[in-house]
A and B are shown apart, each in its own frame.
Chain A
Amino acid sequence: MKPVAFDLTTATAAPHAVALLSNVDIEAKIIAGGQSLGPMLNLRLARPGHLIDVTRAKDLRGVVDEGSALLYGAAVTHAEIEDGAVPDATGGWLQAIASRIAYRAVRNRGTMGGSLVHADPAADWVVTLTALGAVAVIAGPGGAAREEPLSSFIAGPFTTTLKPGEILTGIRLAKRTADARWGYWKFTRKVGEFAKASAAVLIDPGAGDTRVVVGAIEQPPIILPAGDAEAVIAGRLPIEEALRRALPHRPPASLVLHAVAVREALGIAGAAGFPAQDQGAA
């Protein structure tokens, strides 16, 4: 179980990584913590010719306070968020999410940006950062930069809108105030496994943000339309009906677990009429 031969270059900074990506004339791929790509390499399912290691790129490793938002460097690890070693734009929600990703040994290397670019539909950051309205900050060849909401950046299973030569450099996350509420719940058969169903709920009256997001599905996380999300939170629309509207082609029986996830997440977020839950419950 050894990977096929490849070259590996440690990038010193994001522009270095971008230059390498465009200039090495073979199939090159960015690697951060390598906790998802690593197994694929070892099993020879992925065979890039050149890996560009960004885990030590200084400009991808910090968090910048932009006033109303924080910009997380793409190579900040899950463990650094879990430990509170970097500021938390949400007053602790990120810490709780990070602490339940896979296992500690994985969290010590896995990165927030790597998880988003890998775009596994069941990944915790893919679902929760979509619900938190995060924005992907992207660098491209020749100093090009662009930004895109995560809701469109994640385009499908293992698929993002990154174009050849582009890298994700950061994730912008609005700061949340004390009156904002949040719930995230996932179903896993074993601690640390990928979720079979998950849901995240954001209720932020101050910022006018209300989002109900369903994840661990065969496509990017489903963001319920604003009207449906509010109706579900207010108890006017059954969760099952909202899911049926959002996913009309799916047999309703296949959405039972996702409905449970939404109900639990609503409870955690403290929505009236839903059983209260601990943030840590799963």
Chain B
Amino acid sequence: MNAITLRINDRAVSAEVEPRIHLADFLREDQLLTGTHIGCEHGVCGACTLMVDGRPVRSCLTFAAGCGDAEVRTIESFDDDPLMTRLRAAFSRHHALQCGFCTPGMLVTSYDIVRRLPHADEARIREELSGNLCRCTGYAGIVAAIQDVLSAPPAAPVQPLTRPAPTAPAAVMGAPAVTGATSRPSVAAPREEAPSPALPPLDGAITDGVTLTRAIPLDLPPDQVWALVQRIDAVVACLPGARLIGATSGEVLDGTFTIAIGPMRATFAGKAAVSFDAASRSGTVRGRGGDARSRSSADGAMGFRVAEGVAGGSRVEVDLTYRLKGPLAQFGRPAIVSGIIDRLLADFAANLTALAEGREGAVTTEPPSGFRLVLGALAARFRRLLGR
């Protein structure tokens, strides 16, 4: 628990807060100020917008523990504010609300628009409102209400403030030592949780998938590469983040795949089906897995072919179709996933080459992490492999 002192609606408040509690929950559940509405809870909808230090912020993306010495104003504090009184009346007159869920956030944003942009035209108002979603009105009434108030706006009593610098604990003055409060963390280090129950293997086509094609050059003869890729344990060992669970039964295998995307980390547990065609030195891998922690799932189908490369080497041609579902999909935009797959394939190629050359110790089995992948040698190799 962290002790904080702040001002809420002109009232001094001292509280003990759990660090993970965001400001909206603290206000609603601890302070019983339920005028602040919580919608998406990840910064998209704007329903929880309120004033911190005279500026509108997303209270779902603001931790209460970080609000020490802050001046917080919720919709409840604007009852007698002349500008907000005008906005409320205009919202009512112009039918700027129906269900009212977005309204507290809309009013706070509108207040800021009127205060900050006295000359805003309709286009600018719409742009400024783009961070607050309303599913009822179609915005026309909200825009009209703001324009109405902008035609003769009263002065805004709430203005931006500069929060005083934090007072340093005595131990921190001069020598930056760690305070006692933080040297014994109250939270255990995050542990790897057991993988979620494996999903059945993927059947049928991946609809709405994203497809990538890549060619991986390898300094190894095609015969050797073809022999290697048929060793499922070797392939898995070369793929950073991949792990087999139990013995492989025929061509269906159980396993997990851990991937780090910046600060995010997901472990997909699932099944994959592998098939090979010796005549064309090609094969397919189809898999489906779920990550219990992020409640996300992934489907993937990969076709690969070992071809002759330059100077006696080979080229593995890969086409991959995947689809992400669940919260992770919000951050796994195609461009980001494609960058991560490039890094993965570059590492895979480096590891496979190391394995073939008998340098098994060099195999990287860690999941692809931002911190590790950037190390100079690997980055140079990556550029060379992708021909950049």
Interface residues of A (CB under 8 A from B): 1-10, 12-13, 15-16, 18-20, 23-27, 29, 31, 34-35, 37-51, 53, 55-56, 58, 79, 102-106, 108-109, 118-122, 155-164, 190-192, 194, 216-219, 248-249
Please name all residues of chain A whose beta carbon is closer than 8 Å to the beta carbon of B185 when the two chains form the complex: 7, 24-26, 49-50
Q: Is there an interface contact between B371 and A163, defined as CB atoms closer than 8 Å?
A: yes
Chain A residue at minimal CB-CB distance from B340: A157
Q: Does B55 contact A (CB under 8 A)?
A: yes
- Chain B residues with Cβ below 8 Å from A42 are 22, 41-42, 60-61
What's the least CB distance linking B109 to chain A, in Å? 7
Tell which of A8, A38, A105 touches B19, judged by Cβ atoms closer than 8 Å. A8
One of B61, B127, B132 near A35 (C-beta < 8 A): B61
Report which residue of B61, B165, B264, B266 has the largest number of chain A beta carbons within 10 angstroms of its beta carbon: B61
For B176, what are the chain A residues with a Cβ–Cβ distance below 8 Å?
Answer: 13, 15-16, 18-19
Quick check: is B339 within 8 A (CB to CB) of the other chain? Answer: yes
**Binary flags per residue of B151-166, CB closer than 8 Å to A gives 1, else 0:** 0000000000001011
Of all chain B residues, the one with the shortest Cβ separation from A48 is B263
- Once bound together, how far apart are the Cα atoms of A50 and B19, in whole Å? 9
Give chain B residues whose Cβ lies under 8 Å from the Cβ of A53.
Answer: 63, 65-66
- Chain A residue numbers with a CB within 8 Å of B127 are 191
Assess A105 versus B335: contact at CB under 8 Å? Given A26-B185, A164-B371, A219-B342. no
* Minimum CB–CB distance for A164 against chain B, Å: 7
Q: Chain A's nearest CB lies how many Å from the CB of B48?
A: 9
Q: How far apart sit A38 and B328, CA to CA, in the bound complex (Å)?
A: 14
A162 to B, closest residue via Cβ? B371
From B63, B338, B342, B370, contact of A34 by CB (8 A)? B63
A50 to B46 alpha-carbon distance, docked (Å): 27
> Does residue B246 face the partner (Cβ distance < 8 Å to A)?
no
**Within 8 Å CB of A164, what residues of B?**
371
Q: Smallest distance from the beta carbon of A197 to chain B beta carbons, Å? A: 9
> Are A12 and B189 interface neighbours, CB within 8 A?
no
Chain A residue nearest to B105 in the complex (CB): A105
- A144 and B172 alpha carbons, distance in the complex (Å): 19
CB atoms of B370 and A105 under 8 A apart: no
Q: A2-B20, A50-B187, A191-B127 are in contact. Are A24 and B43 (CB under 8 A)?
A: no
- Kindly list chain B residues whose C-beta atoms are within 8 Å of the C-beta of A109: 57-58, 61-62
CB distance A104 to B342 under 8 Å?
Answer: no
Residues from chain A with Cβ under 8 Å of B189 in the complex: 25-27, 49
B56 adjacent to chain A (CB < 8 Å): yes
Q: What residue of chain A has the Cβ atom nearest to residue B169's Cβ?
A: A12
Asked if residues A159 and B293 are in contact (CB atoms below 8 Å), the reply is no
Q: For residue A52, which residue of chain B has the nearest CB?
A: B182
- Separation of A23 and B181 alpha carbons in the complex (Å): 12
Q: B214 in the interface, Cβ–Cβ < 8 Å? A: yes
A12-B165, A39-B331, A160-B374 known, 7 other contacts, Cβ within 8 Å: A16-B168, A23-B182, A24-B178, A39-B42, A43-B327, A104-B131, A156-B340
How many chain B residues touch A (CB < 8 A): the figure is 85
Would you call B204 an interface residue if the criterion is a C-beta within 8 Å of the partner chain's C-beta atoms?
no
- Asked if B254 is an interface residue, CB under 8 A from chain A, the answer is no
Residue of B nearest to A109 (CB): B57
Q: A45-B327, A122-B335, A157-B261 are in contact. Are A6 and B130 (CB under 8 A)?
A: no
Asked if B177 is at the interface of the complex by the 8 Å CB criterion, the answer is yes
A-B contact pairs, 26 of them (CB 8 A): A1-B41, A2-B21, A3-B20, A5-B18, A7-B187, A8-B66, A16-B176, A23-B182, A24-B185, A26-B188, A26-B189, A38-B60, A42-B61, A44-B293, A48-B190, A48-B263, A58-B165, A103-B132, A105-B58, A109-B62, A157-B262, A190-B130, A191-B126, A216-B335, A218-B337, A249-B215
Asked, given contacts A27-B190, A43-B42, whether A156 binds B130 with beta carbons under 8 Å apart, the answer is no
B186 located at the interface, meaning its Cβ lies under 8 Å from any Cβ of chain A in the complex: yes
A5 to chain B, nearest CB (A): 5
Complex-state Cα separation, A106 to B374, whole angstroms = 29
A12 close to B130 (CB less than 8 A): no
B178 adjacent to A20 (CB under 8 Å): yes
Residues from chain A with a CB closer than 8 A to the CB of B167 are 12
0 or 1 for each of B337-349: is its CB under 8 Å from A? (1 = yes): 1111011000000
**A contact residues around B25 at 8 Å (CB):** 2
| Given A51-B19, A105-B46, also A121-B131 (CB < 8 A) | no
Interface flags for B75-109 (1: CB within 8 Å of A; 0: not) read: 00000000000000000000000000000000001
User: Are the C-beta atoms of A157 and B61 separated by less than 8 Å?
Assistant: no
Most buried by B among A9, A45, A158, A249: A45
**Minimum Cβ distance to chain B for residue A203 (Å):** 25
Distance A118 CA – B264 CA, assembled complex (angstroms): 11
CA gap between A176 and B185 in the complex, in Å: 47
Q: Are B43 and A38 in contact (CB under 8 A)?
A: yes
Minimal Cβ-Cβ distance residue in B for A190: B130
